[in-house]
Chain A
Amino acid sequence: MLKKLAFQLKPDIPMPTLRGLILVKALETQGTILRVAPDILGSEEVEPGKPIEVTLECECASEDLLAILESEFTTQVRILPGEANSASSGSIADVSMSLGERVERLAETVVLAQPDDGRVLETIRRQLDSIQNGLAGSGHEREAELARATLGALDALPAAEGEVRDSAWGALNDLVIRLQSLTRSLTPKDRASGSDRIGEGTLREDRTTGEGSGSKTPGAEQDNLGCVPRNDPSPLVQNPELLSCFITESMEHLENAEIHLLTIETDPSQAEAINAVFRAFHTIKGSAGMLGMALIGGLAHEAENLLVLAREGKILLGGSTIDLVFDTVDCLKRLVKDPLASAEEEGQGGPAIEGLIGRIKRAASGDRPTTPESGQLKPTVSGKRIGEALVEAGLATQQGVDEAFRMQMESPAPRRIGEILVQSKQVAAKDVAQKLREQGSKSLQVRETVKVDADRLDQLIDTIGELVIAESMVFQSEEVNRLASPTLLRHLGQLDKITRELQEMGTSLRMVPIRGTFQKMARLVRDLAHKSGKRVELFTSGEETELDKTVVDQIGDPLIHMIRNSVDHGIEANPDNRLRAGKPETGRIDLRAYHKGGNIFIEVQDDGQGLDRHAILSKAIERGLVRETDSLTDREVLNLIFLPGFSTARKVSEVSGRGVGMDVVKRNVEALRGQVEILSEPGMGSIFTIRLPLTLAIIDGMVVRVARERYIIPTLSIIRSFRPRREDLQTVLQRGEMLKVHGNLIPLFRLDRLFDAPGSEQDLGKATIVVVEDSGSQAGIVVDELLGQQQIVIKPLGDILQGTPGLSGGAIMPDGRVGLILDVASLVRLATCEDAARGELNEAAA
């Protein structure tokens, strides 16, 4: 059957693409192009945004035709009556979008918008205005009214601040969701009637694939969740950019929510925190709805409902209710992180999530007692409530505060403790305000930030490193020094100053506070304490300590293991034992970070039972790690727990005891060029200290000379260096050399022999010994001379040479040559290995 067909094209794709598309599509439909207006196939250019009509003559079933065209082209496709003359395509006129389309556009804009972006606001207002007109025209008075109200709120938005802005924004989001559900519920009808009439040349409404959003959501029906279920779970994959944006943002929201939940747990009356959590869920719900992820949307929606109740004071977030919210956050994290898997799960109906939703619904409907038992309100994070602060300052009585708290519980409307206290004339409003301010000043400060790709940042820092090297090469060049012109020197001085500043700035760019990691630990302690049934409080200090980003990323794992170890092995299982030992019933874990002497220290201290030297030793003997006859120092015994597979736990618990853990700690920390130390006092607790270099890229190094070569030893691992006295030297079996230091004998390694560098001083009495330490054991490295200490920018040796025994990397020296950095641990290993090899050779020879 020969058909004539007219369609309009998505006008905002580039002209050449458009041309190609038209030709390809014509080919696919096996049709001939009758007319293109404006004639872009010829010479005419068309303004972007202006519709283009194409009339085709083809032999193709209507459905197929539509399928082919729809896959690429948007806006409207219509089939002209067979006899229609090409001029009639001029009547295709209705370029205005349908209501549904407009709502989807708006939704897209809103999701992608920043509330403080004036241009976007303008767009939103325009879109909303046109929707409102449409609504009023189509008899949806109520929605139109809502839209008008929201418009009003939007007008005030640019000037608004804080809560007002949030609430206007929230209203807008609500409206969008409502409109979406409205138009989506309308669409199926339109569709059905439209397709009946296709053959008669009626306009067929097609939804736009909003450019760059992939957000079209043909909702079959609307359910009461306020989000849209879909049959086809994967359209979101069509736009990876939007998807990845969704993932990052949602993860941020969830992490934020977690922090605030911890605050709520400490103080359930924190309205601001509840609002923040609510907003997080709300935003996720909105974005998920846009992307058609019904599962995420549904779950977020339920959680949101729960928080609304909490905000209205109908339920109290505490005990198991807050656990439920935590669970929801976890579940959402999982779903958001892997949207493909979640889409799959969605296909199966998501039984686990259904269960969670059910639990939330039960909690929200008040199956649980709405007031928590007093014991459940135990704070787990340090921080004072306003009531406590007032009592401490002697401004209110404990009794009064308790009374106010009770009133707050009973009061149907959300009221603050301070408010109640002031109303009942117990304290002056000024005092409350002052205390509240103190509270506020301790809360997190939000700073403006710019997100930069980490690779670009690294590149910048690399380049700065090169600049520093190049600069010092200029400085040390004899030619420049010979010139000695005062002007030049002054300029060079300026250059030097700027370079140093740039270097410092570059280093600081990668520095981030360890706060985020510490907050995760707060959550961890809470969960672990729950699981093990112990009472544990975590106190953190030094959250603002800044570390290299890589360190912060990689220190999380070791910290988790250490905290687990402290909760599971450190804190006594039986609180009576604690009381008997004169310790408070609730266990205390301290997490500290601080700078000291160019290093960063991270400490995990618990006030538990301490490490059991005897148990560790007998376990080690049992496993054949040490012999019974070996005499080990306390430190050596404690270090045994860092061996792989070592655990003294009598039974494997859910928390720890599988024997993986402390070796991971040691390995990870060493990979960051740091060290771990343990201090433990039986019955008093233990302190695990991680010592890390300030940055990964720059270290302090001692430059040493061996024969005609230079090597760098990291200052971190140097204990001391000196010229030995002859009487302190000792040979063993005429082969091994030992040195007496403070009564201890340490092995000596001659770098020249290890590295086959001929021409070195052979008389030990004239050489210099650098005593280095690696995981508690010391060794002496024999070198010819110390050349001095300097800051070293570490450069990797590259794929091929990385892993060369005894070396950890290279560095560009001020003269432009490459210096090699010694890896003390592998050097000692290399030395022992060579000794062993030589020993074997000797044995073979004998």
Chain B
Amino acid sequence: MPEQAVLDRPSAAGEEREEPLARGGKFLTFQLGGEVYGLEILKVQEIMGLIAITRVPKTPEFIRGVINLRGKVIPVVDLRVKFGMERKEDTDRSCIIVIQVLRRGRQITMGAIVDEVSEVIDISGDQVEPTPEFGSVVDTEFILGIGKVDQKVVLLLDVDRVLSGEEGEALTSLTGSCSESAR
């Protein structure tokens, strides 16, 4: 129920948001460049090992390509590239997390490549701290908050933002301008 979800979390679809704060709940944690990230478990549809990915030309670099998810074609995003981390060869621990994200009020399915999936943990609301500001050095707009559990730090991702943000628009505008100049 997308509408419901929008109501629950206006930050997901709204153009601007005040202070995004993650509420507590269950999170799937995974490794990415030595850091631990967390995804709301409700957003996760399934986790699969790396399978053959078909590159889609003329798309941003962080879109690794498309995969066949039981007959459906879904895009796969390389989170390392997306977050501007150093590129690394895939290992046998690399995984694709299949996630349901909201984009302009519509539910879409996407895959995200991560280094390694860790575990599912409970994080209560009072264990979440707001994202610190790093100025322009580090872009923290994808981070909902920072969870602290047993001395561990988990960066809680705003997955709707990560995977559905402006890249879609960037793509469309690329096509648009191109077809226009062609006329």
Interface residues in chain A, defined as those with a beta carbon under 8 Å from any beta carbon in chain B:
462, 465-466, 469-470, 709, 754-757, 795-801, 803-807, 810, 812, 815-820, 826, 829-830, 832-833, 836-837
Contacts and interface: CB of A to CB of B under 8 A. Distances in A.
Contact of A797 (B73, B106, B164, B168): B73
B182 A795 contact: no
A680 B103 CA distance: 49
Contact of A798 (B52, B68, B73, B181): B73
B82 interface: no
Contacts of B55: 709
B182 A816 contact: no
Contacts of B75: 797-798, 800-801
A470 B67 CA distance: 15
A805 B58 contact: yes
Nearest to A834: B178
Contacts of A807: 56-58
Nearest to A811: B73
A801 B56 contact: yes
B169 to A, nearest CB: 10
B4 interface: no
Interface of B: 52, 54-59, 63, 65-68, 70-75, 103, 106, 108-110, 164, 167-168, 171-172, 174-175, 178-179, 181-182
A819 B54 CA distance: 7
B73 A800 contact: no
A810 B175 contact: no
B171 to A, nearest CB: 7
Chain B contact residues: helix, strand, loop or mixed = mixed
A810 B73 contact: yes
A799 B63 CA distance: 14
Contact of A805 (B54, B108, B175): B175
Contacts of A815: 52
A462 B54 CA distance: 21
A800 B66 contact: no
A787 to B, nearest CB: 15
Q: Which 3 A-B pairs have the closest CB atoms?
A: A755-B57, A466-B71, A810-B73
Contacts of A806: 57-58
Given A801-B59, A801-B63, 12 more contacts: A755-B57, A798-B73, A798-B108, A805-B58, A807-B58, A810-B54, A812-B71, A826-B175, A829-B182, A830-B178, A832-B182, A836-B182
11 contacts: A470-B71, A709-B54, A754-B57, A755-B57, A800-B75, A800-B110, A801-B56, A812-B73, A818-B67, A818-B68, A833-B181
A799 B70 contact: no
B179 A829 contact: yes
A432 B107 CA distance: 65
Contacts of B70: 466
Given A801-B171, A804-B59, A818 B54 contact: yes
A711 B99 CA distance: 27
Contact of A799 (B58, B66, B168, B179): B168
A455 to B, nearest CB: 16
A799 B108 CA distance: 7
Contact of B66 (A466, A709, A803, A810): A810
A805 B182 CA distance: 12
Contacts of A812: 68, 71, 73
Contact of A803 (B65, B167, B175): B175
Contacts of B178: 805, 829-830, 833
Contacts of A837: 181
B168 A796 contact: no
Chain A contact residues: helix, strand, loop or mixed = mixed
A805 B106 contact: no
Nearest to A796: B73
B57 A800 contact: no
A816 B73 contact: no
Given A709-B55, A755-B57, A804-B58, A462 B71 contact: yes
B74 to A, nearest CB: 6
Contacts of B110: 800
A755 B58 contact: yes
Contacts of B181: 833, 836-837
B108 A795 contact: no
Contacts of B167: 800
Contacts, number: 103
Nearest to B106: A799
A798 B54 contact: no
Nearest to A756: B57
Nearest to B110: A800
A803 B171 contact: yes
A37 B45 CA distance: 52
Contact of A818 (B63, B66, B164, B179): B66
Nearest to A711: B57
A800 B68 contact: no
A807 B56 CA distance: 9
Contacts of B108: 798-800
A826 B57 CA distance: 14
B179 to A, nearest CB: 6
A817 B69 CA distance: 10
A203 to B, nearest CB: 48
A829 B179 CA distance: 6
Contacts of A833: 178-179, 181-182
Contact of A800 (B54, B65, B67, B164): B164
Contacts of B106: 799
Most buried by B among A755, A797, A803, A818: A818
A832 B168 CA distance: 23
B57 A757 contact: yes
B103 A799 contact: yes
Contact of A817 (B52, B56, B59, B168): B52
A189 B148 CA distance: 77
Contacts of B168: 799-800
Nearest to A818: B54
Contacts of B63: 800-801
A798 B71 contact: no
A800 B179 contact: no
A466 B178 CA distance: 35
B88 to A, nearest CB: 21
A829 B66 CA distance: 24
B2 to A, nearest CB: 13
A736 to B, nearest CB: 15
Contacts of B164: 800
Contacts of B182: 829-830, 832-833, 836
Nearest to B65: A818
B171 A817 contact: no
Contacts of B175: 803-805, 826
Most buried by A among B68, B75, B164: B68
Contacts of A803: 171-172, 175
A799 to B, nearest CB: 5
A815 B51 CA distance: 12
Contact of B68 (A796, A805, A816, A826): A816
Nearest to B109: A798
A804 B174 CA distance: 9
A466 B72 CA distance: 9
Contacts of A832: 182
A196 B17 CA distance: 63
Contacts of A801: 56, 59, 63, 66, 75, 171
A775 to B, nearest CB: 14
B7 to A, nearest CB: 21
A507 B71 CA distance: 17
A800 B182 CA distance: 23
A186 B179 CA distance: 72
A254 B151 CA distance: 73
A805 B181 CA distance: 13
Given A799-B108, A803-B172, A816 B52 contact: yes
Nearest to A706: B57
Contacts of A462: 71
Most buried by B among A462, A755, A805: A805
A263 B70 CA distance: 51
Nearest to A817: B52
